[in-house]
Amino acid sequence: MRYMIASDLHGSAYWTEKLCGRFEESGADRLILLGDLLYHGPRNDLPDDYAPKKVIPMLNALADRIIAVRGNCDTEVDQMVLDFPLLSDSAYICDFGQRVFATHGHVWHPDRLPPLRDGDIMLFGHTHIPADEIRKGKGGAVRCINPGSVSIPKNGSAHRCLLWEDGEFRELILG
C-alpha cells in the first residue's frame, strides 16, 4: 500500500489540482488529508486561486481513496458537499507494521500527544510548517510528522506533501 499525505489545502483550486495530479502520478492507493480543506481561515491570506467550489469536485472524484480528518477550519457545511467523511478529529492507520494516528494538530499535537505507544507515529498539519521529530509521550517515544501545507506554506517551506511507502516517508514538492 502506498499513501500520499497532505494538509491545509485551504480552498486553493490551483494547489489542489497540483496535489491531485501528483496523487495520480505517484500511484498512491490512498490520500490522507489532515484537515483544512475548503476554507482559508481568518488568520491566513487567500491562497492562489481560492475557489472552494472548484476544490469540491476534485476531492469528491477521489472520495473512495480518501482518509480525512477535520481541521479547525472544517465545518458541518463542508461535510454536506464532500462525499467522504471529514468530521472526525482523528483516524488510525495501521500498515507496514506501524500504527499511525492522523489528526489536524489543533487538538492533538507534539506538545499534547494523544495516548500512543513507543514507536507509534502521529501525523499532523495545522502549522503549515514541515516537521519530523521524536517526542516523549506517556507510552514512549512517538514520531511526530507534519507534511507542511499544500497551499499556504510557512517559514519558507515549499508547497508539499508526503509519500508513505514501505514504512518510509518522503517529501514531494508540488511546485
Q: What is the pLDDT of residues 51-96, one digit of tens each?
A: 999 999 999 999 999 999 999 999 999 999 999 999 999 999 999 8
| Residue 118: per-residue pLDDT | 96
The closest of 54, 61, 23, 24 to 38, measured between CA atoms, is: 54
Specify the pTM: 0.96
* Residue-number span of the structural domain to which 72 is assigned: 2-173
CATH of the domain at 55: 3.60.21.10
Comparing CA positions, the residue from 105, 130, 110 lying closest to residue 120 is 110
Residue type at position 146: N
Q: How many domains is the chain built from?
A: 1
Better-predicted residue by pLDDT, 48 or 160: 160
Taking a C-beta distance cutoff of 8 angstroms, is the pair 89, 109 a contact? no
8 A C-beta contact, residue 80 and residue 60: no
Would you say residue 46 has pLDDT above 90?
no
